[in-house]
C-alpha cells in the first residue's frame, strides 16, 4: 500500500469518480480507506444514467465522505427511457446530490465512424450522415434538458465534452449567469480554458496531466488561474503515471495534484487548499 505524507492544512476532493461502477463492487470500503489515507476528504460519485445515478446516491447515503452527481452521459442517451426527466428530477432532490451530470456532447464515436458500439451506443448498424445528425440532435436535446433541470434545482452541472467543443459552448452560453459548469477531464488549450473561465465556468484536470504526450494540458495547467480549476480522477479510467494499466481510484487524485504542483511550481498544500476551496464553493459542499 502507498504510504502518504500528510498534506498540511488541507485535504483533497476528487470531484469526478465512478465508484458506482462494477469495478469497485468487491473492495469499495478499502478503496475509500486508501483515499482517506492519501488525504482525500470528499469524493463525488458521478452518474451516467438513471441506474448508475441511483447507485451514486445509495453510496452517498452509505459513506459520509461521498456525494452524488446525477445525470445521463451523452453516449448513453439512446439507451435511456425518453421520459427520463421526471425520475432524474426525483433522484436529484436527494440532499447529497450536489450537481447535475455528467451531461454534454460526445461526437467521438458517431454512427458513421464505427459499427462497433461505443459506451452506451446502440449496436445497430445505421446509415452514416443521417444517423450522425440524429444522434447529435438527441444529445443536444438531452443536454439542454439537463441544463434546464439544473437551473430549476439551483445546481451546477458537470460537463462531458469530446470532439464537440463549438456545439457544447454554443448550447451552454445562454445559461451563463444562471448556472455554472465544470468541463471535466479538460484536455483543451489555454484559449479554450480562458473562454470557459470568462463565461463563469470551471475546468477540471485528471491523470492525463501526467501522460508523456500531454504537453497541451500541462501548458493549460501552468497558466490557468488558481481559482478556476479542480482535480479529479475519472476513475476507474485514466490512471495517472505511475499507475498506468491499473484500475484508477480516488487516492490517485493526490498524484494528479502532485503533478500539477510541479507544473505550476507551487506546493502540494497550496494546490490542495485552492482546489478544495473551489470545489466546496462550486458543489456547495458542507
CB-count exposure of residue 85 (10 Å: 0-12, 13-18, 19+) = middle
Q: Would you state the pLDDT for residue 9? A: 47
Q: Would you state the pLDDT for residue 81? A: 74
CB-count exposure of residue 258 (10 Å: 0-12, 13-18, 19+) = middle
Q: Would you state the pLDDT for residue 180? A: 98
CATH of 12-115+134-283, one of 3.40.1410.10, 3.20.20.370, 3.40.50.300, 3.20.20.140: 3.20.20.140
Q: Would you state the pLDDT for residue 125? A: 46
Q: Would you state the pLDDT for residue 164? A: 96
Q: Which three cell numbers stand for residue 233?
A: 480522477
Q: Would you state the pLDDT for residue 120? A: 54
| Backbone φ/ψ region at 142: left (φ over 0), alpha (ψ -120 to 50), beta | alpha
In angstroms, the CA 212 to CA 248 distance is 18
Q: Would you state the pLDDT for residue 121? A: 53
In angstroms, the CA 83 to CA 284 distance is 28
Nearest to 139 by CA among 117, 159, 154: 159
Q: Report DSSP letters for 151-197, one per residue.
A: HHHT-EEEEEEES-HHHHHHHHGGGBTTB-EEESS----HHHHHHHH
- Residue-range domain boundaries for the chain: 12-115+134-283
Report pTM: 0.92
> Which residue bears the cell 502540494?
268
Q: Would you state the pLDDT for residue 286? A: 78
Q: What is the mean pLDDT of each run of 10 residues along the chain (286 residues)?
A: 60 97 94 97 98 98 98 93 92 98 94 64 60 94 98 98 97 96 98 97 98 97 98 98 97 98 97 98 94
Query: Cα-flanking dihedrals φ and ψ of residue 276, to 5°?
Result: -65, -45
Residues for the chain: how many in total? 286
Amino acid at each position: 500500500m502507498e504510504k502518504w505524507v500528510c498534506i498540511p492544512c488541507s485535504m483533497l476532493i476528487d470531484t469526478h469518480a465512478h465508484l458506482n461502477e462494477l469495478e469497485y463492487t468487491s473492495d469499495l470500503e478499502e478503496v475509500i480507506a486508501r483515499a482517506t489515507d492519501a488525504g482525500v476528504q470528499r469524493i463525488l460519485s458521478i452518474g451516467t444514467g438513471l441506474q448508475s445515478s441511483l447507485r451514486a446516491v445509495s453510496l452517498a447515503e452509505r459513506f459520509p465522505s461521498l456525494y452524488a452527481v446525477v445525470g445521463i452521459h451523452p453516449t448513453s442517451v439512446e439507451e435511456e427511457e425518453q421520459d427520463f426527466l421526471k425520475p432524474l428530477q426525483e433522484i436529484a432532490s436527494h440532499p447529497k446530490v450536489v450537481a447535475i451530470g455528467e451531461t454534454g456532447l460526445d461526437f467521438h464515436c458517431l454512427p458513421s465512424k464505427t459499427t462497433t458500439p461505443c459506451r452506451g451506443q446502440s449496436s445497430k448498424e445505421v446509415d452514416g450522415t443521417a444517423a450522425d445528425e440524429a444522434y447529435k440532435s438527441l444529445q443536444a436535446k438531452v443536454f439542454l434538458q439537463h441544463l434546464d433541470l439544473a437551473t430549476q434545482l439551483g445546481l451546477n452541472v458537470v460537463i462531458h465534452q469530446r470532439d464537440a467543443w463549438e456545439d457544447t459552448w454554443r448550447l451552454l452560453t445562454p445559461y451563463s449567469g444562471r448556472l455554472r459548469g465544470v468541463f471535466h477531464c479538460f484536455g483543451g488549450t489555454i484559449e479554450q480554458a480562458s473562454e470557459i473561465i470568462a463565461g463563469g465556468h470551471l475546468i477540471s484536470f485528471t491523470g492525463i496531466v501526467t501522460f508523456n504526450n500531454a504537453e497541451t494540458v500541462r501548458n493549460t495547467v501552468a497558466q490557468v488561474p488558481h481559482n478556476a480549476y479542480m482535480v479529479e480522477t475519472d476513475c476507474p479510467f485514466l490512471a495517472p503515471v505511475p499507475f498506468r494499466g491499473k484500475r484508477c481510484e480516488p487516492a490517485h487524485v493526490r498524484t494528479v495534484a502532485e503533478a500539477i504542483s510541479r507544473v505550476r511550481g507551487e506546493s502540494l498544500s497550496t494546490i490542495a487548499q485552492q482546489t478544495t476551496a473551489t470545489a466546496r464553493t462550486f458543489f456547495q459542499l458542507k
